[in-house]
Amino acid sequence: MFEVRNLSKVYNSGVINKASLKAVDDVTFSVDRGETVGIIGESGCGKTSLAKMVLKLLKISSGSMYLNGEDVSSIRGEKLKSYRRKVQIIFQNPESSINPHMKIYDCIAEVLRINKLASRKSEDEKALIYQLISMVGLQQEHLNRYSWELSGGQIQRVALSRVLALKPELLVADEPTSMLDVSVQAQVLTLLRSMQREQGFAMLFISHDLDVVRVMCDRVIVMFMGKIVESGTVDQVFSHPCHNYTKSLLEEYECLR
């Protein structure tokens, strides 16, 4: 359903001593409908740059992306808007993912208003928002609060409800639980899984935690220095790693048990 071909991102810096950094280097992969693909790798291996390019928040240096067979690598205007309805993101850091000057109600209503899913301050809007927050397990009292009055887990729930409002086809989860506690991580991950089952969206799950990836994903991609070094189903990669980097990754990881 979603496909990325030879995608690269190069950062240039300096005027006299031109230096370029390949954050993402010739990456090719695809995601099927309803499937969860994990991307693992160290911090700084280009995972987040990749996510932002998929969201079209970052310019692509070279390569192409396809959604449902349609080339989306250089769309603009209305087409971009409809693409963004279909592809959504959840960020890592709960502290910065919601505008601190807005109440939670407005945060969720914003999504509906921008995409004209309900008219401003109508009964429809209210009903829709109540339905959304009950889906992610929040109470109505939370709607009147600001983001800094909520815990990290609750903010990730708000972020998820914003995403669900648009009924996306692909959700990019950029380390959604790496800043959360163990018990809250379990709450958010199970919620994510049940929502996926309900709405049937595909998920690109970025994480450095192999345990989480093992639980959440069907297939997994290992990234190292901007390149894909290994990919396959979770069982394949975890039980028979081929690439040396994957092997050392798993080895280091096993030591922690």
Partner 1 sequence: MKNNKHIIIALTVLTAILLLFVIISPYLFSASYDLDMKNALQAPNSAHLFGSDNLGRDLFGRSFIGLRLSLALALVIQITCLFMGAIFGTISGYYGGVIDKVYIMIQDVVMSFPSLIASLCLIAMLGPGIHTLIIALSCTGWVTYARLIRSEVVSLKELDYIQGARAIGASSGYVLFRHILPNVLRPLIPLFTLMIGHTVLAISGLGFLGFGVQPPTAEIGLMIKDGLTYITRAPWMILAPGLLLCLYVWLFNALGDELQEWLNPKKDYLHI
Partner 2 sequence: MEKLLEIKNLCTHFDSRNGCVNAVCNVNMDIHRRQIIGLIGETGCGKSVLGQSVLKLLPKNACITGKILFEGKDILKMSVKELRAVRGHKIAFICQNPAEALNPLMKNGTQIMESVRINQALSKKECRETSIDLLNILGFSEPKSIMHKYPNELSGGMKQRVLAAMGMSGYPSLLIADEPTKGLDAIKRRQVIATIRKFTETTGCAVLIITHDLKFASAICDTIAVMYAGEIVETGDMEALFNDPKHPYLMALIKSQPCKGLNVLNGTVCSLIDLPSNCRFFDRCSYAAGICQDQHPDLLTLNEAHRVRCLKYV
Q: Binding residues for partner 2, per CB under 8 A?
A: 42-43, 151-152, 178-179, 181-187, 189-190, 208-212, 214-216, 249, 252-253, 255-257
Report how far residue 137's alpha carbon sits from residue 149's, in angstroms, rounded to the nearest whole number.
17
216, 38 Cβ separation under 8 angstroms: yes
What tokens were used for 54?
Answer: 């998929």
Taking the least distance from each CB to partner 1, the nearer of 96 and 248 is 96
**How many chain residues bind partner 1 (CB under 8 A)?**
28
> Among 166, 202, 237, 249, which residue sits at the site for partner 1 (rule: CB under 8 A)?
166
Q: Which does 110 bind (CB under 5 to 8 A by kind): partner 2, partner 1, none?
A: partner 1
Question: Which DSSP helix (H) or strand (E) runs through 192?
Answer: helix 182-199
12 touching partner 1, by CB under 8 A: no
Q: Which does 101 bind (CB under 5 to 8 A by kind): partner 2, partner 1, none?
A: partner 1
Pairing of strands 202-207, 36-40: parallel
Taking the least distance from each CB to partner 2, the nearer of 98 and 112 is 98
Q: Which does 108 bind (CB under 5 to 8 A by kind): partner 1, partner 2, none?
A: none
Eight-class DSSP state of 146: B
| Residue 144 CB neighbours (<10 A) | 10
**Which burial class, exposed, middle or buried, applies to 68 when counting CB atoms under 10 A from its CB (0-12, 13-18, 19+)?**
exposed
List all residues 6 or more positions away from 212 whose beta carbon is below 8 Å from its beta carbon. 177, 185, 189
Which residues of this protein are in contact with partner 1, per CB under 8 A?
Answer: 52, 55, 57, 81, 84-85, 87-89, 91-93, 96-101, 110-111, 114-115, 146, 148-149, 159, 162, 166
